[in-house]
Amino acid sequence: MARVVLLFAVCVLHSLETQGSSDVRTVFVQKGKDLHLDVNKHVVLVKRSEFKWTVNNTDSVVRLFPNTTKKIIDSYKGRAEFSPQNRSLLLKNVQQSDSGDYTALIIGDKDQRLAEYKVIVQDPVSPVQLSVDSVSNSTDSCNLTVSCRTEHSHINSTFRCDTQACNQEGGQQSKVKTSGSSLRVYLLSDDIICNHSNQVNWTKDLRKIRTLCSRAAVPNGSLTIGNWIGIIVGCLIVGLCQGRC
């Protein structure tokens, strides 16, 4: 019986921890940008209590005392701003070292967590280049292979066009890099797009299929010269017939 009670208590504790963890919001911010964190709750400080923002559950960033006196910790002076009115925190020009878990809480007779953020600082992604490796044209089809490259990574993809449609063999190609960024090459309308992105930044390069494949092998909804000639000749014939009637 004791084991059953103990197991039940462990399960309840695990459930509470899981529910609490779901309140943590993940925030991505680009290196060199400003980070703004809010407390979406009304906060009233009572005697013998203080409000603070902490990072990684140990180091304080700012402290607010019941007499409305605020103190920004020395290592954050000049780049941290705190609003006593809404308890928001602004951290300027963030760097990789600013990544971490930020918590807004009240310390007193009964501690209370008000907001939690998991902050991830990311570098902007490097430029990307789309290059054409090979093109094979015929009167009714076009096959081409391209490479989507960054400084340290690349992916290849093959496209086939006929007079009806263009298709990418195997569908969209993508590769996730160790930095967390994603490299993708895909077809959008008649554009081949090479995209390098993460949660805070993106770069792209593109090539138009119509500039790579012969007109005969590429689907085209517009009228060609041949179409126009046919229309003009048809109109002339109709006009001559009407003149004779």
Give the contacts of 2 (CB within 8 A, at least 6 positions apart).
none
| Better-predicted residue by pLDDT, 62 or 19 | 62
pLDDT at 14: 34
Which tokens sit at 160? 């086939």
Q: Given pLDDT bands bounded at 50, 70 and 90, which one contains residue 230?
A: very low
pLDDT of residue 91 exceeding 60: yes
pLDDT at 215: 63
In this structure, the strands spanning 173-176 and 100-107 are: unpaired
Spatial contact of 136 and 144, defined as CB atoms under 8 Å apart? yes
CA–CA separation, 215 and 81 (whole Å): 60
pLDDT at 228: 37
Which tokens sit at 149? 């490259």
For the chain, the structural domain boundaries read 23-122, 129-220
Q: What CATH architecture does domain 23-122 belong to? A: Sandwich (2.60)
* Predicted model pTM: 0.70
- What is the tens place of the pLDDT at every residue in 111-170? 889 999 999 999 999 999 999 999 999 888 999 999 999 988 999 999 999 888 999 999
- What is the tens place of the pLDDT at every residue in 167-200? 999 999 999 987 889 999 999 988 999 999 999 9
